[in-house]
Amino acid sequence: MSSLKGKHIVLGITGGIAAYKSAVLLRLLIKKGAEVQVVMTPAAKEFITPVTLSALSGKPVVSEFFTANTGEWHSHVDLGLWADLMIVAPATASTLGKMANGIADNMLVTTYLSAKEHVMVAPAMDLDMYASPSTRRNLATLACDGVEIIEAAEGELASHLVGKGRMAEPEEIVERAEKFFSRSEDMKGVKVAITIGPTYEKIDPVRFIGNYSSGKMGSSLALECAERGAEVTAICGPVSVYPDHPSVRVIKVESAEEMCKSALEDFEGCDIGILAAAVADYRPEVFSDHKIKREGTEEMTIRLVKNPDIAACVGSRKKEGQTIVGFALETDDAALNAEKKLDRKNLDMIVLNSLADKGAGFRTDTNKVTIFSRGGRPEEFPLKSKREVASDIVDAILKYRDKQKIQG
Ligand code: PMT
């Protein structure tokens, strides 16, 4: 039985030639047992008629905020709450830009902004538009917001030019939707604890030792686990964005010592522990209560002492059935150093990201990782959005746990 059976899907259609494929997509979704509500932008109606789509879906198509002759208001909030999944296919450059920037001037974008559940977009446009910095930026923003991007394919385009910009085939979109629903419960009942972001080590009331971690990688992981049904405790250093989800409990800490105390408590009862934080290895030995003045001092020496290694502490207390996953942020001899950390900290897996790779590591919306598992072969992934990387990491963790269970 398809995982789409009984699911409520909003199919958003925008104004592009590929809109004709949306009729096929709609039919496939209905055949798999989904209930589908079509929402069209005004421009989409130039490419395919609402009559075709309402006949296929068995529901009136929604496009305007009001029905002109009766004044009846169509609630985008209700639609957003009703949907288990929203698919925008085809998604034009214009709609992607509106979605990424919250420009709510049509029913499709307001529905997107009210959507409570997962959203997928299947872009379709000319090759140069698809490759333009503006489209790439909007797609990166959407990916960062948790939207799943079904990348366009290569082929002949409406302009008769050949390149990347064709909407993914309806069969592929349906497959992605089925995969989403079959995965969305695969962490049900699993408890996850995760450290996220940087730590700040105080020098005086105005200064600290810190690092560039934004918390994006860790937050993406927390959200990915929560969306797949896990109960998550996120121990966050001073990050710019905290993971916001009903199943994520956020604990805010500042220093490595505070993070360590919290981690030792919260990793105790977890099934999966993930150490994504960039913890300061050292802290000033002495904290000055007063702002240190520069007058009369040509040089300053701050004596540093070692912070606890949270990953090693957690690793040394690992219990039967627990899986502990660390990260390795390297600049040189990356693979060798990652493997050494895997052993030294008694971890099950380690996710290597190297600052030598463009687009990987701190602050970026993307990352490029290699996952090392105890007793397995390293698995290397291409550059992807941090949200997609989080999904790959979670898949790898679940695979590792299944293997452990089989091996007893
Ligand atoms: O937050 P972003 O801007 O999105 O960037 C993400 C990231 C680059 C911070 C993240 O992907 C990452 O690599 N985090 C780990 C960074 C790090 O401290 O790596 P490390 O190789 O120095 O440490 C190895 C492991 O030990 C890590 O799991 C780390 O969390 C842990 N550790 C390190 C030192 C320490 N005192 N305690 C620890 O728990």
Please check whether residue 38 is in contact with residue 13, taking contact to mean a CB–CB distance below 8 angstroms. yes
347 touches ligand 1 (CB under 6 Å)? no
What pLDDT was estimated at residue 153? 92
What pLDDT was estimated at residue 50? 96
Which one has a higher pLDDT value, 72 or 143? 143
Q: What is the mean pLDDT of the chain?
A: 94
Read off the pLDDT of each residue in 38-66 and give the average, rounded to a whole number: 94
Portion of the chain with pLDDT greater than 70, in percent: 100
From 209, 239, 329, the mutation candidate for ligand 1 (largest count of ligand atoms within 8 A of CB) is 329
What's the topology of domain 8-183? Rossmann fold (3.40.50)
* pLDDT exceeds 90 at position 67: no
Fill in the DSSP letter of residue 213.
-
Please confirm whether the linkage preceding 90 is cis (ω < 30° from 0): yes
Residues of the chain with CATH 3.40.50.1950: 8-183
Reduced to 3 states (helix: H, G, I; strand: E, B; else coil), residue 195 is strand
Residues of the chain with CATH 3.40.50.10300: 191-407
**First vs last Cα of the chain: how many Å apart?**
31
216 touches ligand 1 (CB under 6 Å)? yes
What would the pLDDT profile of 293-348 be if each residue is shown by its tens digit?
988 888 999 999 999 999 999 999 999 999 999 999 999 999 999 999 999 999 99
What pLDDT was estimated at residue 74? 75
Atom of ligand 1 nearest to the CA of 196: 1
* pLDDT exceeds 90 at position 262: yes
Which one has a higher pLDDT value, 328 or 145? 328
What pLDDT was estimated at residue 76? 73
| Alpha carbon distances (Å) from 314 to 79, 194, 274, 319 | 44, 11, 10, 10
What pLDDT was estimated at residue 322? 97
Portion of the chain with pLDDT greater than 90, in percent: 83
385 touches ligand 1 (CB under 6 Å)? no
Atom of ligand 1 nearest to the CA of 217: 4
Fill in the DSSP letter of residue 391.
H
What pLDDT was estimated at residue 183? 78
What pLDDT was estimated at residue 264? 97
What would the pLDDT profile of 153-205 be if each residue is shown by its tens digit?
998 877 788 888 999 999 999 999 998 988 778 999 999 999 999 999 999 99
* pLDDT exceeds 90 at position 72: no
What pLDDT was estimated at residue 334? 95
- Main-chain dihedrals φ then ψ at residue 37, nearest 5 degrees: -110, 120
pLDDT band at 113 (very low <50, low <70, confident <90, very high): very high
What pLDDT was estimated at residue 97? 98
pLDDT band at 233 (very low <50, low <70, confident <90, very high): very high
**Which CATH code fits 191-407?**
3.40.50.10300
Read off the pLDDT of each residue in 16-20 and give the average, rounded to a whole number: 95
What pLDDT was estimated at residue 190? 97
What pLDDT was estimated at residue 64? 84
SS3 of 316-379: the string is HCCCCCCEEEEEEEECCCHHHHHHHHHHHCCCCEEEEEECCCCCCCCCCCEECEEEEECCCCCE
Describe the crossing of helices 386-407 and 216-227 by its angle, rounded to 10 degrees: 60
What would the pLDDT profile of 213-227 be if each residue is shown by its tens digit?
999 999 999 999 998
What would the pLDDT profile of 363-388 be if each residue is shown by its tens digit?
998 999 999 999 999 999 999 889 88
Please check whether residue 63 is in contact with residue 50, taking contact to mean a CB–CB distance below 8 angstroms. yes
- Main-chain dihedrals φ then ψ at residue 235, nearest 5 degrees: -95, 105
What would the pLDDT profile of 183-196 be if each residue is shown by its tens digit?
778 999 999 999 99
* pLDDT exceeds 80 at position 357: yes
What pLDDT was estimated at residue 217? 96
Distance in Å, CA 246 to ligand 1 centroid:
26
Distance in Å, CA 353 to ligand 1 centroid:
10
From 279, 348, 367, the mutation candidate for ligand 1 (largest count of ligand atoms within 8 A of CB) is 279
pTM, to two decimals: 0.78
* pLDDT exceeds 80 at position 68: no
363 touches ligand 1 (CB under 6 Å)? yes
* pLDDT exceeds 90 at position 141: no
Rama region for 221: left / alpha / beta (φ>0; ψ in -120 to 50; rest): alpha
291 token code pair: 């702002």
What pLDDT was estimated at residue 69? 72
What pLDDT was estimated at residue 6? 96
What pLDDT was estimated at residue 256? 98
What pLDDT was estimated at residue 71? 73
327 touches ligand 1 (CB under 6 Å)? yes
What pLDDT was estimated at residue 70? 75
Which one has a higher pLDDT value, 39 or 298? 39
Query: At a CB cut-off of 8 Å and minimum separation 6, what does 2 contact?
Result: 32, 33, 178
Read off the pLDDT of each residue in 111-115 and give the average, rounded to a whole number: 94
Fill in the DSSP letter of residue 53.
H
